[in-house]
Structure 1
Amino acid sequence: MARDEPVPARDEPLTASPAPAKAGPGALARQRRRASAVRFWQRYRTHRSGLFGLAALALFALVALTAPLTVGSDVQSVTGAPGRPMESPSLEFPLGTDQFGRSLFGLVVWGSRVSLLVGLLATVLSVAIGALIGITAGHFRGWFATVMMRITDWFLVMPTLVLAIALATVMSRSLGTIILAIGVTTWPTTARLVRAQTLAVESRPYIERAKALGGGHRHVMSRHVLPNVMPLVLAQTTLIISSSILAEATLAFLGLGDPTVVSWGGLLQDAREAGAVSAGKWWYLVPPGIAIAVVALSFTLCGRAVESVLNPKLGVAR
């Protein structure tokens, strides 16, 4: 060692290079969720039908969100309508007018808000009820599972539309009634599927280890069972939304919806009351009918693609 080089004192600690900080459990969980989302999208985008459905739904969602800016809320008013009753399509009214002279294009655009909202909320209610009953029945078993499954079987054999019509008839005519009627009558299929998945999950060894380490019912169901059934719940949600939108349109067409709001099913019901079918006013029926069909098809395509991604063994055609 050269004499001009400084010699460190013995009592002066040598500074070591800082060790890389370890990621905490929260950061690791977020990293894993991000990686799972990336893998999910990489598999989902290989399904052409799923991409078509997703693009169509994005377009409808954009139309529904921007309806107050594009057509305005005054399009629903029956007073001071700009056109003549049931006028054929023209440059001023691309889809014609209804029985009050209102623009059908504006009504279809505004009705997308109600139809999509009712379909989404009714599906959330239906899936929540089905998942809750399915997880609890699969976890506790015994007499509780027997009672829950018999109730589920009763709802399965009863016609869903008849039950929804009965509920909508005895209750007030409002959007909340429609959401409740659809939600409480379409959950049995979800409950059956979730219970079967719960039984499969609880037969795995790590569930026994969790119980042996002191994990209670709430811990097992929320930390172990629920994350494993969520992919099935997600796929079931995308499939039920289309049925909920069709059910809302059916109830509104039968005159059981809220008469103060504009929806696609309500437009069809107005066209029936105005005699558009016998008068040959096809433009009064076709636009809302096509909108209902396209949205229902789009949700179905997305649901099939999600189901195929989460369970590749199904072999759903792309």
Structure 2
Amino acid sequence: MRRLARRFLRNPGAVVGLFLLLVLALVALLGPGLVGDPLEQNLLERLKPPSPEHPLGTDQLGRDVLARVVHGARISLGVGFGVVLLASLLGTAVGLLAGGLGGRWDNLLMRLTDVFFAFPSLILAMAIAAALGPNLGNTVLAVALVTWPIYARLVRAQVLALREREFVEAARALGAGQGRILLRHLLPNALTPVLVQASYEVGAAILTAAGLSFIGFGAQPPTPEWGAMVAETRNYMAEAPWAATAPALGILLTVLAFNLLGDGLRDVLDPRGR
């Protein structure tokens, strides 16, 4: 672990990404208790520029932009981690079964993933979100349903490369059943690329969810979700650019942090890459 930590700390991009994520985590955990109500309106204070009373200004309804951005950090991070958790569990299970069982099961499960890969992910997520109804929970489910095939393909490839290795043959020779081999020997050895991919996908999930909210298929006003905030304030860019710029910067920094962290994890955990 010390060697892995040293390798990670030698990557300046990974350190920057980790620092940004720690700051975002603190904002999401502690920030909502330190700022005001993100839904409180004051039309007499609408579209006010940044000031000591409102450090990031106010929006078209007089709501404090800082309070909405801080509360939006918790929502956006929750969406990102929720999507990755659902998608990785489903994709890992499908990939493990397809690679471990092989034969007809492999063909059936991989053709199912091909169906999802046949559609553009954003269009498919829009269709699912529209069918389920536009809200935050359905957005998480919709984005998870279009991203699980990535994990399925990744885990299947790892299992196919591992299932003929000597330690698996030794387990079979000792009488281990198929389920024990899958869960005890193949799954732990296939998780490293899943962890790296998950670190990238959290940022991608946040970006996709924000895009769905921007076009009306995700979180609905007055929920302080970053994509919905940009959508609400985009018509006021000329007179109050801070109202849309603040949540957009939140999306930018969060996605950048997860991408930098993913690069660092890949360098540390993948010896072939080094």
TM-score (norm 2): 0.95
Task: Return the match for 1:86 from 18, 24, 47.
Answer: 47
Distance 1:170 1:157 in 2: 19
Shift of 1:176: 1.4
Question: How far 1:212 moved relative to its partner?
Answer: 2.0
2:271 equivalent in structure 1? 312
Residue 272 of structure 2 aligns to a residue whose secondary structure is: helix
What residue is the counterpart of 2:67 in the other structure? 106
Aligned mates of 1:227, 1:184 — CA distance in 2: 24
Give the match's secondary structure for 2:217. Answer: coil
Residue of structure 2 aligned with 1:69, choices 26, 30, 33: 33
CA distance in 2, matches of 1:77, 1:221: 53
Q: Which of 226, 229, 233 matches 1:267?
A: 229
Q: Secondary structure at the match of 2:147?
A: coil
Q: 1:180-191 alignment to 2 at 5 Å? A: 180-191=141-152
Render the CA deviation track for 1:98-136: whole Å, top value 9, x for unaligned: 111011111111110101101110011111111111111
* Equivalent residue for 2:246, pick from 275, 278, 287: 287
Aligned to 1:138: 99
Structure of greater Rg: 1
3-state SS in 2 of match to 1:185: helix
Q: What is the distance in 1 between the residues matched to 2:79 and 2:88?
A: 14
Structure 2 residue runs without a partner (length 5+): none
Q: Kindly provide the CA deviation profile for residues 233-289 of structure 1, in whole angstroms up to 9, marking residues without a partner as x.
A: 1111101101100011001111122325211111011113xx213x34211121111
Which structure has more helix as a fraction of its residues? Answer: 2
Aligned to 1:38: 2
* 1:217 counterpart residue number: 178
The corresponding residue for 2:132 is 171
Residue 276 in 1 paired to residue 236 in 2? yes
Alignment-derived partner of residue 57 in structure 1: 21
Runs of 4+ aligned structure 1 residues displaced above 6 Å come to: none
Shift of 1:42: 2.2
Kept after mapping to 1: 8 A contact 2:134/2:216: no
Q: With CA pairs under 8 Å and 6+ residues apart, which has the higher RCO, 1 or 2?
A: 2
Matched residue, 2:120: 159
**Alignment partner for residue 250 of structure 1, among 199, 211, 217?**
211
The total of aligned residue pairs comes to 273
Equivalents in 1 of 2:136, 2:17: separation in Å?
A: 26
| CA displacement, residues 51-89 of structure 1 (integer Å, 9 cap, x when unaligned) | 1000000000000101232114x23233xx386111122
Shift of 1:296: 0.2
CA distance in 1, matches of 2:269, 2:3: 11
Q: Cα offset for 1:192?
A: 1.1
- Give the share of equivalent positions with the same residue, in percent: 37
Q: Does 1:97 align with 2:58?
A: yes
* More displaced 10-residue stretch of structure 1: 83-92 or 180-189: 83-92
Cα distance in 2, alignment partners of residues 145 and 266 from structure 1: 40
2:134 and 2:213 mapped to 1: Cα distance?
A: 10
Change (3 A) 1:201 1:92: same
Do structure 1's residue 296 and structure 2's residue 259 form an aligned pair? no
Amino acid at match of 1:302: L
1:49 to partner: Cα distance? 0.4
Distance 1:242 1:96 in 2: 27
Please name the residue that 1:23 is paired with.
Answer: none
- Pick which of 84-93 and 141-150 moved more: 84-93
Worse overlay, 218-227 or 149-158: 149-158
Alignment partners' CA distance in 1, 2:267 and 2:69: 33
Query: Are the aligned partners of 1:83 and 1:103 in contact in 2 as well (CA < 8 Å)?
Result: no
